[in-house]
Structure 1
Amino acid sequence: MIRSLFVTLGVLAAATLPTRAQTTNSGTDKFAQLETLLPTPNTYRTASGAPGHQYWQQRADYAIKVTLDDAKQAISGSETITYTNLSPDVLPYLWVQLDQNILDKNSMTTATQVMQIEGGKLPFQAVENLVEKNFDGGFKIEAVTSASGQPLKYTINHTMMRIDLPTPLRPKQKVSFGVKWRYNINDQLKNGQRSGYEYFPEDQNYLYEIAQFYPRMAVYHDAKGWQHKQFLGNGEFTLPFGDYKVSITAPADHVVGATGTLQNASQVLTSTQMSRLNQAKNAKKPILVVTQDEATRNESSRAKGTKTWNFAAKNVRDFAWASSRKFIWDAMQIMQSGKPVMCMSYYPKEGNPLWGQYSTEVVAHTIKTYSKFTIPYAYPVAISVHGPVGGMEYPMICFNGGRPEKDGTYTADRKYGMISVIIHEVGHNFFPMIINSDERQWTWMDEGLNTFCQYLTEQEWQRDYPSRRGEPKNIVEYMRTDKTLQVPIMTNSESLLQFGNNAYGKPATALNILRETVMGRELFDYAFKTYAQRWAYKHPEPADFFRTMEDASAVDLDWFWRGWFYTTDRCDLALDGVRYFNIDTRNPGVEKTRQQKQRAAEPQTLSQQRNAQEIKQTLVDEKPELKDFYNSYDPLAVTEADKQQYFDYLKTLSPAQQQRLSDNLHFYELSLRNVGGLVMPVVIQLTYDDGTQEVQNIPAEIWRKNNEQVSKVLVTSKPVISFVLDPYLETADTDLGNNAFPRQPAPSRFELFEQGRAAGNNARQPQNPMQQQRNASPLQKQEQKPTK
């Protein structure tokens, strides 16, 4: 009956109300606020996550002259740095980064590298790195002078150089000083650094990707003072903004691309190249400024003399460039928020056909998509350069791998890998080149946020694009690994374990879950864009991001930051059981009919089945005189007394209560358990007996009073035949085997093989699909054609 039902449900609720068990998993209430972990707001950084009214940041302007020695693979240069102190502090000295010193013979990075000889085996490359120490790529500082040319005292500590000022630099003052240096360029294929050269033995040419090539100012800011952690290899670069004027002297037959805009195009380009570059301003597809035929002819030339290419860049944090006589160069201008952006690519013929078809189109697509989700791209240029390894980013220019086979074919993985790395590295123009986070301390603030935007951009490039990172299901294997092999995202860059998963995949996944499941797209996109707008051309810290996302959305996310960023907990929610209840209407026609159906549906026990066969006649059957009233009484038959009792009961109820009795509602009590420790929303799919389905999303706050186990009562108008947690794989649940009730087997696969028939080491490598198609017989090609 409805009254007793509500009383019964009340008793059930009271009996299963969560007790406070917030501290049993990790020692901390998972919904505790983050105030004790985040820095105290002040006039520089507010509690809302925005820059304060007294926010300040330093400025460094550069005038650089650099020469490329193509015969010796060496760089020599000089620079004048003008440093402006916009802080309220007096600075007796300045810190300058010498990141090239990671390649010094006595590098701290080399000295602190750890290695194991697994199974008595060590690769030749590892042996060479251990034994051969002939290459010395560190900076050779030849002079540090004042603006008047007087020597300045300086001290070099590995990758940092302290310059002691004759007079302390007071607030609102600026100082200029000069540095002269040289260094040897490294072979990227041998040591895999972020810049260097690639040698092409077929035509005896070099392709140079040059970065970290000049002494660069370290950041001094309100949150840390000087950021002068040593560069050990993982923690990248934290730099102040400024204007750059850079002159690059290279062999006369080289083509040079760089950060900023070319200032003397008429002096270094032919009239034909100038004309083509102008055509690119109104082109709908990339225009070749230097064609493949021209680049191929150029490879065999050895022009005497040099050319100097002059570039200028405003309000950037760094500068990089590339140079080679092998470069093909294409360009296409787009308009972004009313401003022209010249999208360009530089690549050797070895990159075609992939690079000519895709690179500049990917650059343009990335600029458009990132601008939609963050802030409009305001720089005049965006460049992708094809080099030998990986990818690396700098303002307006990036270096990217992804090369087809020599016959021009490639696998799908190679194609999408190339597109993805270009998206990723061009995307770094936004994080951290514009939203200028501290890479030396927090890798995730640029790599994680950028990988998330990369995922959004990939999905807008092609439907169902095979994104490597971003989807929650793709991070599950990492989240499952032993906790001793993980560290929290909030770990210094040089101390990270499983670098790619930790700094790229996990934070990108976390943001995708925030967008799709926790906040919803509308709230998330607005808050994320607000963060980008607030911290464009500034130096944000993690707290600024966390606070802005909450401030602009009115969503308390402290539990999310704590779980995903400060712990190694994983998502594993379990549906341990389901109890079913329905309303006792006290209507004898309804209730006794239901009981009759239940009784009829009950199976006979084994004993009952055998007794029916073996006991031919019972005593009562033999002697009917032993029967009485109860031998013919049916307690489930509806009597007039039952009807009268129900009629009297209805008179005690209001019309609304009478309606509720007839609603035929179904009540399900779900027992939920947090196995993995990471509190998350509970996403439940209900499948009804008529085949229809419904998904309910219960906010993570369901766990706020008990972080480990809760009960939830769901009310439905139709019977439910199954419940499934996380049906769309949106929470990165690491164990799907406990997500369903009734239980469902989690699919997996194994392979049958014949023992002793494994392929030998000389087994022929299969051709990629393009090669297979090219080499197929006419009949095979006909069979492979798609049918209409």
Structure 2
Amino acid sequence: MKRIHFYILAFAFMGANLVVAQDNQEDKKPQGHINNNKFRQLYQEFATPNMYRTASGAPGKAYYQQQADYEMEIELDDKNQKIYGVETITYTNNSPDDLEYLWVQLDQNVRAKNSPARLKNGAKIPRLERTSKFVGSYVADPFDGGFNIDYVKNSKGKPMSFTINQTMMRIDLPQALESGDKVSFSIKWRYNVNNHVKKRGRSGYEFFEKDGNRAYVIAQFFPRMAVYNDVEGWQNYQFWGNGEFALPFGNYKVSITVPADHILDATGKLQNRKNVYSKEMMKRYERALNSYDEPVIIVTQEEAEAAEKDFSNKKKTWKFYAENVRDFAFASSRKFIWDMQAVDINGKKVMAVSMYPKEGNPLWEQYSTKAVVSTLKTYSNHTFDYPYHKAISVHAKNQGMEYPMICWNYGRPSEDGSYSERTKFGMISVIIHEVGHNFFPMIVNSDERQWGWMDEGLDTFMQFLAEQDFAKAHPESVESTGGKYPSRRGEPSKIVPYMKGGQDRLSPIMSNPENVYQLGPNAYGKPATGLNILRETIMGHEAFDHAFKTYAQRWKFKHPTPEDFFRTMEDASGYDLDWFWRGWFYTTDFVDIGIESVKKFQVRTRKAGGGSFVYFVGEDDDRYSKEYEGKSVVKNDENLKEYLMDNFSAEQRATMNDPKYFYEVAFNKPGGLVMPIIVECTYEDGTTEMMEYPVQIWRKNDNLAKVVIASEKKIKNLQLDPKLETADIDTSNNMWPNEEGQSDFNQFKEKKTIKQKK
């Protein structure tokens, strides 16, 4: 069945999105307005392209980034839960600027006794509170976890002047560091390691009362160089706890001393494997290097349980070297079970690794490394081949945090080993998410401190794709859910509750993570949903995937901004998406499109003055019937096609449809966001057809759009957005006829008539 569509845009005014200011009280003349068309370009929001960042979204010819190389000697004191370190930083100034001072991040100071971060959210007296929280809030002394800086010295061993401002330390240089030069300096430091289960935080230890052991996941543990770039100079915004990290790339040479019976892994390549592995561990490791189908256990549960009973007083040093990474982290415990599996990433071998205590089994042994393998494959297919030699998933209660090559993840069975489907999928999802962070922001190195969505949102979008791939690779894991992975975020319908929330608790995506009420939906869910809508509904897989991969490859091992992402997505796809970025990322507007009216017409024709004329007559309108009563008028049900034949050639006639029904459909838009109009049409004979109108249908009128449908069949009903593709917050206006069997148009007409009578 063929049909003909005619687009009719109904104009209240010829200007787009016209907003007229209040009438002048004196002369009642309308006031002018600025261009507030939803489709205007983002010239006001974007910075002017320059030699560092081009208008296409690619790095410019003069793009630069700084480098920070580290040599560190670390010791973990398990008995006293302290960490000690000495580091030498070699900082290379690749910028065109001479630098008078350097900024170093002291993120552990967020847990210092006098940290302002403790007071940032204010407080009120609760009606009911757990005893443990009451004690921690009002009775116990605050935990003192801030850095103790013993010294800062130059390469000749002489003290350097420094000033600590909360979580930032400024090091004053005796003379400016000129463009192209390097400077080396050393810092000696120490701090108390926090219990991340009780005191929270992205790193720390968990204490296991039954066996008296601790499992450490250690990060942000050393003074780290801040970013200096062409966008804002030094990124020295304080670490308040939510906004994460902005870091330069560099090379790391790190020695970590821990109790001799600990199992440890970290960012980088292990340099002294034979010194820290037993002979049996080495044999298993060699076997794992060629095991592409299943993990090989390097340290068994039986061996880990035996180690829990003995607390060695001896020490062992693990040595690592990491090249071109933005950070360094490690995990250490005598409780760890350890397994590894090889992954083929387009001919390159990568090791997928899991570390977990017995409390994580049987769940972790069954699924953790499988999730790592699947994640590396999916992300590599959509971005670039994973460049590092390993990816590690470490079990840690209540954690979900990422670093180069290593991450911590939650998901713990009950003590008897049983677990719910929710626990299982929660664990798999967090592993996919955190391993995926290797790509965003560990390699595509965005500024998390300022733009949390650039890593969390992009990663959550990729997580959604990876979860579906995991279900395909492991169908047994999704038998209970009908073969579909129960993704928490990504599908448009799941962001609706957030989008229709109170505006006083909503912030645009383009907000600093510290300044939003609901960080999860704001920085994770909404950006991921937006990208999903672009891929599935607006751009299509081919155009979107090419553009997304172009962005990832342009900016791997570099520092992109939001504008670089937005510009690249348009540049590589040929889609003008300024309307989407503005609405979805820069505002808290929402999608709400409805069917306002459906009017059925007949077509009547007459010949006059040597020409043919066509009249559309509403089924409740007898105006034309009276005007042409008794005259030569042909109705469309009397074979309109034949009557019109003399207007077309024989070749054209052979391809013409024969429409018998004409409908004018009016769509309104109570919501602020423009979106394509997707309509499912059900005909009287039960057949259905999808009709899609591009978003540009709103370009000249932001409130109302009309279309004409010429069909051979009678329409029974229409449904907007039948697959819930656009995050429409109110579907009650998406059907015609409505539930009462009366069209919205007729209801509207009745109300209007009553109002006029009054």
TM-score, length-normalised on structure 2? 0.87
Q: Structure 1 residues 17, 307: CA separation in 2 closer, same or farther (over 3 Å shift)?
A: same
Q: 2:661 aligns with which of 666, 674, 699?
A: 666
Corresponding position of 2:478: none
Corresponding position of 2:729: 734
Q: 1:243 aligns with which of 251, 254, 270?
A: 251
Give yes or no for contact 1:205–1:299 (8 Å, CA) kept in 2. yes
- Is 1:141 paired with 2:149? yes
Q: Distance in 1 between matches of 2:643 and 2:399?
A: 78
Give yes or no for contact 1:17–1:711 (8 Å, CA) kept in 2. no
Q: Distance in 2 between matches of 1:651 and 1:191?
A: 82
Q: Distance in 1 between matches of 2:461 and 2:169?
A: 35
After superposition, the C-alpha distances for 1:734-761 in whole angstroms (9 at most, x for unaligned) are: 1110001111489xxxxxxxxxxxxxxx
* Greater Cα shift, 301-310 or 50-59: 301-310
Q: Structure 1 residues 335, 504: CA separation in 2 closer, same or farther (over 3 Å shift)?
A: same
Name the SS of the counterpart of 1:282 in structure 2: coil
Give yes or no for contact 2:12–2:701 (8 Å, CA) kept in 1. no
- Is 1:562 paired with 2:582? yes
* Greater Cα shift, 332-341 or 310-319: 332-341
Name the SS of the counterpart of 1:553 in structure 2: coil
Q: Distance in 2 between matches of 1:134 and 1:648?
A: 89
- Is 1:686 paired with 2:681? yes
Corresponding position of 1:28: 36
The alpha-carbon deviation at position 652 of structure 1 amounts to 6.0
Corresponding position of 2:51: 43
Q: 1:511 aligns with which of 531, 542, 567?
A: 531
Q: Distance in 2 between matches of 1:47 and 1:647?
A: 52
The alpha-carbon deviation at position 129 of structure 1 amounts to 3.0
Give yes or no for contact 2:10–2:705 (8 Å, CA) kept in 1. no
Q: Structure 1 residues 685, 76: CA separation in 2 closer, same or farther (over 3 Å shift)?
A: same
* Greater Cα shift, 127-136 or 426-435: 127-136
The alpha-carbon deviation at position 720 of structure 1 amounts to 1.4
The alpha-carbon deviation at position 27 of structure 1 amounts to 8.8
Q: 1:91 aligns with which of 86, 96, 99?
A: 99
Q: Distance in 2 between matches of 1:213 and 1:75?
A: 8
Q: Structure 1 residues 27, 658: CA separation in 2 closer, same or farther (over 3 Å shift)?
A: closer
Q: Distance in 2 between matches of 1:331 and 1:14?
A: 61
Corresponding position of 1:274: 282
Corresponding position of 2:476: none
Name the SS of the counterpart of 1:415 in structure 2: helix
Alignment-mate amino acid for residue 43 of structure 2:
E
The alpha-carbon deviation at position 654 of structure 1 amounts to 4.4
Give yes or no for contact 2:9–2:697 (8 Å, CA) kept in 1. no
Name the SS of the counterpart of 1:560 in structure 2: helix
Please report the RMSD computed on the Cα atoms of aligned residues, expressed in angstroms: 2.8
Q: 1:162 aligns with which of 153, 170, 181?
A: 170
After superposition, the C-alpha distances for 1:402-434 in whole angstroms (9 at most, x for unaligned) are: 000000001100000000000000000000000
Larger Rg: 1 or 2? 1
Q: Distance in 2 between matches of 1:28 and 1:525?
A: 31
The alpha-carbon deviation at position 582 of structure 1 amounts to 3.7
Corresponding position of 2:331: 322
Q: Structure 1 residues 110, 651: CA separation in 2 closer, same or farther (over 3 Å shift)?
A: closer
Corresponding position of 2:571: 551
Q: Distance in 2 between matches of 1:692 and 1:645?
A: 23
TM-score, length-normalised on structure 1? 0.84
Superposition pairs of residues 680-759 of structure 1, within 5 angstroms: 680-744=675-739
Q: Structure 1 residues 15, 437: CA separation in 2 closer, same or farther (over 3 Å shift)?
A: closer
Name the SS of the counterpart of 1:162 in structure 2: strand
Name the SS of the counterpart of 2:197 in structure 1: helix
Superposition pairs of residues 643-662 of structure 1, within 5 angstroms: 653-655=647-649
The alpha-carbon deviation at position 485 of structure 1 amounts to 1.0
Q: Distance in 2 between matches of 1:270 and 1:653?
A: 91
Q: 2:373 aligns with which of 345, 349, 364?
A: 364
Q: Distance in 2 between matches of 1:493 and 1:420?
A: 22
Superposition pairs of residues 556-705 of structure 1, within 5 angstroms: 556-584=576-604, 653-655=647-649, 663-705=658-700
Q: 1:192 aligns with which of 193, 200, 203?
A: 200
After superposition, the C-alpha distances for 1:602-632 in whole angstroms (9 at most, x for unaligned) are: xxxxxxxxxxxxxxxxxxxxxxxxxxxxxxx
Number of residues of Structure 1 aligned to a counterpart in Structure 2: 690
Q: Distance in 1 between matches of 2:380 and 2:530?
A: 21
The alpha-carbon deviation at position 581 of structure 1 amounts to 2.1
The alpha-carbon deviation at position 717 of structure 1 amounts to 2.8
- Is 1:500 paired with 2:520? yes
Q: Structure 1 residues 130, 666: CA separation in 2 closer, same or farther (over 3 Å shift)?
A: farther
Name the SS of the counterpart of 2:198 in structure 1: helix
Give yes or no for contact 1:579–1:668 (8 Å, CA) kept in 2. yes
Q: 1:63 aligns with which of 71, 74, 98?
A: 71
Give yes or no for contact 1:583–1:661 (8 Å, CA) kept in 2. no
Q: Structure 1 residues 460, 648: CA separation in 2 closer, same or farther (over 3 Å shift)?
A: closer
The alpha-carbon deviation at position 191 of structure 1 amounts to 1.6
Q: Distance in 1 between matches of 2:55 and 2:8?
A: 39
Alignment-mate amino acid for residue 265 of structure 1:
R
Q: Distance in 2 between matches of 1:183 and 1:298?
A: 27
Q: Note the residue ranges of structure 2 that are not aligned, 5 or more in a row.
A: 21-33, 472-482, 608-618, 621-628, 742-758
After superposition, the C-alpha distances for 1:77-125 in whole angstroms (9 at most, x for unaligned) are: 0000000000000001000000000000010201322223344657641
Q: Distance in 2 between matches of 1:434 and 1:651?
A: 65
* Greater Cα shift, 737-746 or 95-104: 737-746
The alpha-carbon deviation at position 650 of structure 1 amounts to 7.0
Corresponding position of 2:562: 542
Give yes or no for contact 1:21–1:707 (8 Å, CA) kept in 2. yes
Q: Structure 1 residues 166, 681: CA separation in 2 closer, same or farther (over 3 Å shift)?
A: same
Q: Structure 1 residues 147, 720: CA separation in 2 closer, same or farther (over 3 Å shift)?
A: same
Alignment-mate amino acid for residue 668 of structure 1:
Y
Give yes or no for contact 2:260–2:316 (8 Å, CA) kept in 1. yes
Superposition pairs of residues 769-788 of structure 1, within 5 angstroms: none
Corresponding position of 2:493: 473
Q: 2:62 aligns with which of 30, 34, 54?
A: 54
Q: Structure 1 residues 654, 400: CA separation in 2 closer, same or farther (over 3 Å shift)?
A: closer
Corresponding position of 1:398: 407
Corresponding position of 2:547: 527
Q: Note the residue ranges of structure 1 that are not aligned, 5 or more in a row.
A: 1-5, 588-597, 600-634, 747-788
Alignment-mate amino acid for residue 694 of structure 1:
E
After superposition, the C-alpha distances for 1:318-351 in whole angstroms (9 at most, x for unaligned) are: 0000000000000011121222111101100000
The alpha-carbon deviation at position 513 of structure 1 amounts to 0.1
Corresponding position of 1:762: none
Q: 1:78 aligns with which of 86, 89, 109?
A: 86
Superposition pairs of residues 81-120 of structure 1, within 5 angstroms: 81-119=89-127
* Greater Cα shift, 24-33 or 470-479: 24-33
Q: Which has the higher helix share?
A: 1
- Is 1:305 paired with 2:325? no
Q: Structure 1 residues 645, 745: CA separation in 2 closer, same or farther (over 3 Å shift)?
A: closer
Name the SS of the counterpart of 2:175 in structure 1: strand
After superposition, the C-alpha distances for 1:700-719 in whole angstroms (9 at most, x for unaligned) are: 11111111111122232322
Give yes or no for contact 1:523–1:553 (8 Å, CA) kept in 2. yes
